[in-house]
Amino acid sequence: MYRVVTIEETWDVAKDVRAFRFDDSIEFTPGQFIMAWLPGVGEKPFSLAWKDMIVVKRVGPFTTELFKLKEGDRLWVRGPYGHGFTRKGKRIALVGGGIGIPPLYAFARKNRGEFEHVTLIYGARSEDELSLMDIENYVDEVVITTDDGSAGRKGFPTEVLAERKGEFDQVYACGPEPMLRAALRVMNYRNIQISAERYMKCGIGVCGSCNLGKYLVCRDGPVFDGFQLKGLL
């Protein structure tokens, strides 16, 4: 069932990344997603960055049209769908890459003060693609990596995770699949939850387009415990 929301505010977060804030709140667990529909254009899934916000990277025809929306325009949404993150541990790491920040942002914001220490390890290709928003307000430490060394440390977030994994009793990760695969291996599939990405059409486990081995990402995920994906990712 769709609900119609009005865009109350939109702003640029990074290069080709924009936030959209709605006039309506959606009760959700960080890691869950909604399906957003533009009549005559199509429908795409987006992780919720907050109960009234999505953060979108422009990558194709749908997101190009979405970027044309301005304050007062309408968007059709349904959801939330899927399983979100489960709060575990006391000293945690949030590991993100590229546009993988929204569910981690939501998790950090919703659980502010619930952990002894929260470290964000976040990487992007270059400084202008960092989509941090104001996440520093909800974590204790931010470690930045960029592929080209234009900000923070040159390299990848999983390299930092490999060096410091002994500090964390739970890891939460979202980003490109190669990064997720590396994070799973660094943690030996233990004490890690990941938000997986797959092409989704229906969002409710009917069409099967988002299959990941024996799982459907929209229905069984998008958040999985690491051990669930051993041998699959």
Q: Where are the domains of the chain?
A: 3-81, 91-195
For residue 30, cis peptide bond before it (omega within 30 degrees of 0): no
Mean pLDDT of 74-85: 97
Q: Which residue has the higher pLDDT, 163 or 98?
A: 163
Per CATH, which fold does 91-195 belong to? Rossmann fold (3.40.50)
Q: What is the pLDDT of residue 219?
A: 92
Q: Is residue 208's pLDDT more than 90?
A: no
Does the pTM exceed 0.75? yes
Which amino acid is it at 97? G
Q: What percent of the chain has pLDDT over 70?
A: 100
Mean pLDDT of 28-41: 96
Confirm or reject CATH 2.40.30.10 for domain 3-81, answering yes or no: yes
Rounded distance between C-alpha atoms, residue 47 and residue 216, angstroms: 16
Asked if pLDDT for residue 200 goes beyond 90, the answer is: no
pLDDT per position as a tens digit, 86-131: 999 999 999 999 999 999 999 999 999 999 999 999 999 999 999 9
CA 218 – CA 40 distance, rounded (Å): 23
Phi, psi of 9 (to 5 degrees): -155, 145
pLDDT digits (tens, 9 = 90+) for 7-17: 999 999 999 99
Q: How many CB atoms lie within 10 A of CB 16?
A: 17
Domains 3-81 and 91-195 share a fold: no
